Structure 1
Amino acid sequence: METIVQNVTDQVVNIYRKFDASHDYDHILRVMKNAKEIARTMPNADMKIIRLAVLLHDIDDPKYKEDGNVSAMEVLRSAGADDVMAMTVLETIRSVSFNGGNEEEIVSIEGAIVRDADRLDAIGAIGIARAFAFGGARGRKLYDAEEFARTNMSEDEYRSKNTATVTHFYEKLLLLKDLMVTEEGKRLAEERHSFMVAFLEQLKLEAGFDGSGKRLQ
């Protein structure tokens, strides 16, 4: 099993080098750290499946899909995983994506852990940095005072509009604290959420929206 994990690691390091700084290999390492921290409170979790799911969870992300990209299944097969292991890992990965609030049902402890671990890296100081890194890579505005956050979106609607980065906080990042599913994930999310709220309030002040009657979202 360790050989499979190492083989997958060797492959994904090169794959994530092609992604921008919001979804690079450092993101994978942080999610892995979060997952291990949460898993310590859930001793029945299968760390082998968790590690593989973390390593591969962004490989098939539609945001980075290009012709010729290797899939998570292809990586697993080339690394020596059998069909049962590969399908278990892919099922765990499907639990992760937000998809505009249209997320998949969690069917395992491992799925819950990986989802919360990934979402923890989307909030707090690192979440703020990642949001603006992604927005910059896609040429998005920092904020748009006339733009309102969307609700009840389909997955296509969520992915199709290049909203300003601050709008993304209101459409996703500020919602994640209340969407955590593990007790440890909920605990860890509290401080990170509070930091984001404080950041947005300071941003409003510095951008000149305090008391202006306009909305910075």
Structure 2
Amino acid sequence: MNDIQQQQLAAATTYMQQVLGQDHSGHSSDHIQRVVHLTTALCRQEQVAAFIPLMAATLHDVIDDKVVTDVTVARQALSDFLTHQQVSATDQAEIWLIIDRLSFSKNLVHKQQLPLSGQIVQDADRLDAIGAIGIARTFYYGGHTGEKLYDPAIKPRTQMDKAAYREQSTVINHFYEKLLLLQDSMNTASAKKLAAQRQQVMQTFLTEFKAEWNGEA
């Protein structure tokens, strides 16, 4: 990255911290920092220029309807920020395309097409949703929304659209409705390898959880 891009990325980090610094849903700045770290590593491994992926990784949750109260206002604020930072129209368009298409819920009905830059950010974001961190974030978000821990009578849902996905189920069902599906949705070879390791962590946890739930020694 050149000096101007580094300054723009630093400003984006500050902007993100202002928006997400007080988040208590699992989408706060520590999540973003991990996604940025993973994005950096994947860009290096895939030999992709890092500026646009890192900008999208840094900003992807500042307009998320799980986090902000008014998405329209948040989108306008982000657009104003990018323009104020003199991010080119071409770069802005690609950043917006990535942010608007990467989420799990946006891909439930139709798979959204992404350039490799976006595939990398999507992989990084999904990697932070699985494994040990994924387990922690899932229970943290479930507590934040008041979701039920587990009920064997409530079965995991399939064939959901975004509206159905956002309806409450149970925390444990979330593993089957989303998290365990993410390994097969990874785009890059590097992410697939990391996802396989994190998948095993979740499967081991679920086996132990259900054994303890059932009172097994």
Q: How far off its partner does 1:167 sit?
A: 0.7
Residues 71-91 of structure 1 show CA distances to partners (whole Å, capped at 9, x for unaligned) of 232332233213221111011
Relative to structure 1, is the Cα distance of residues 128 and 105 closer, same or farther in structure 2, using a 3 angstrom cutoff? same
Distance 1:143 1:78, change over 3 A: farther
Structure 1 position 10 matched with structure 2 position 17: no
Partner of 1:191: 197
Match status 1:182 vs 2:197: no
- Are 1:36 and 2:40 an aligned pair? yes
Letter in 1 for 2:41: E
Question: Is 2:136 the partner of 1:132?
Answer: no
Query: Mind listing any 5+ residue stretches in structure 2 that lack a counterpart?
Result: none
Q: 1:146 aligns with which of 140, 143, 153?
A: 153
Q: What amino acid maps onto 1:167 in structure 2?
A: N
Q: TM-score, normalised by structure 2?
A: 0.90
Matched, 1:54 2:49: no
Aligned AA (2:60) = H
Kindly indicate whether the alpha-carbon contact (under 8 Å) linking 2:102 and 2:112 is maintained by their aligned counterparts in 1.
no
- What residue ranges of structure 1 are gaps of 5+ in the alignment? 211-217
Cα deviations across residues 107-159 of structure 1 (Å, max 9, x unaligned)? Answer: 31101100000000000000000000101111111112111111111111111
Secondary structure in 1 aligned to 2:45? coil
Indicate the residue corresponding to 1:215 in structure 2: none
1:147-166 mapped onto 2 (5 Å cutoff): 147-159=154-166, 161-166=167-172
Q: Retained in 1: the 8 A contact 2:68–2:74?
A: no
Q: Distance in 1 between matches of 2:22 and 2:97?
A: 25
Alignment: residue pair count: 208
Q: CA deviation at 1:98?
A: 0.5
Matches within 5 A, 1:107-126: 107-126=114-133
- The 2-side partners of 1:125 and 1:131 are apart by 10
* Percent of paired sites with the same residue: 35
